[in-house]
Chain A
Amino acid sequence: GDSVTQMEGPVTLSEEAFLTINCTYTATGYPSLFWYVQYPGEGLQLLLKATKADDKGSNKGFEATYRKETTSFHLEKGSVQVSDSAVYFCALSPNSGGSNYKLTFGKGTLLTVNP
């Protein structure tokens, strides 16, 4: 079945440092890929997504590129801020919708950014 493996945390960085959170997946066909963010005490919000190979999703300075050859969707940001402290989840969806449509999530990576 489908699965998502993401970098174990926690990750602690200083403000303005470069961030990479690794995500690899196993799926049949051509899934869509997502990064969600969960700020303390809140639900999950979509951060970015990519729906086909070589697509780059971007939002709020974060980027991730859908790499089919390496089955990866690594999250990057050039200069993190204290406000980026959150839990980040990588997820995938099957390439066909239907009555059994659902997402598969990674276990999450806790990021703490210190001033």
Chain B
Amino acid sequence: DVKVTQSSRYLVKRTGEKVFLECVQDMDHENMFWYRQDPGLGLRLIYFSYDVKMKEKGDIPEGYSVSREKKERFSLILESASTNQTSMYLCASSPGAGYTGELFFGEGSRLTVL
């Protein structure tokens, strides 16, 4: 089974702190994604990556950056956390070129910014 692991299930941070959310997948997938989930807004894509060191902006990249130094790991970075970034963050992965199937999701990281 594909396993996508997010390092922290629950985090509480202060406004202005730098926050790292880590995601690791164990199926050698090329594509990795970060979404945020908010009530009434569904899932919104923040960033995605289709290869090591490659990244593309999603629909709501402002206030976020990402890093993909190794194929299995995709990190989401909040340089200076703000209260409006309180949310559930979901990491996902999928195989690469030619694939048209589903994404595989981690358990989610619930971030609260005070």
Contacts and interface: CB of A to CB of B under 8 A. Distances in A.
Given A106-B42, A107-B40, A44 B105 contact: yes
B38 to A, nearest CB: 10
Contacts of A28: none
A89 B98 CA distance: 24
B42 A43 contact: no
A98 B97 contact: yes
Interface string B84-114: 0000001010101111111101111000000
Q: Looking at chain A, what size class is its interface with the partner chain?
A: 20 to 34
Contacts of B58: 102
B82 to A, nearest CB: 23
A109 to B, nearest CB: 10
A32 B101 contact: yes
B43 A105 contact: yes
Nearest to A95: B100
A43 B40 contact: no
Secondary structure type dominating chain A contacts: loop
A16 to B, nearest CB: 28
Given A106-B42, A107-B42, A97 B97 contact: yes
The 10 closest A-B pairs by CB, nearest first: A107-B42, A43-B105, A99-B50, A44-B105, A105-B43, A97-B98, A97-B99, A43-B107, A46-B102, A43-B108
Given A36-B105, A45-B105, A100-B56, 5 more contacts: A49-B101, A97-B100, A102-B45, A105-B42, A108-B42
15 contacts: A42-B108, A43-B108, A44-B92, A45-B105, A89-B43, A93-B100, A93-B101, A94-B100, A97-B99, A99-B50, A99-B51, A99-B96, A101-B31, A102-B33, A107-B41
Interface of B: 4, 31, 33, 40-43, 45, 48, 50-51, 54, 56, 58, 90, 92, 94, 96-103, 105-108
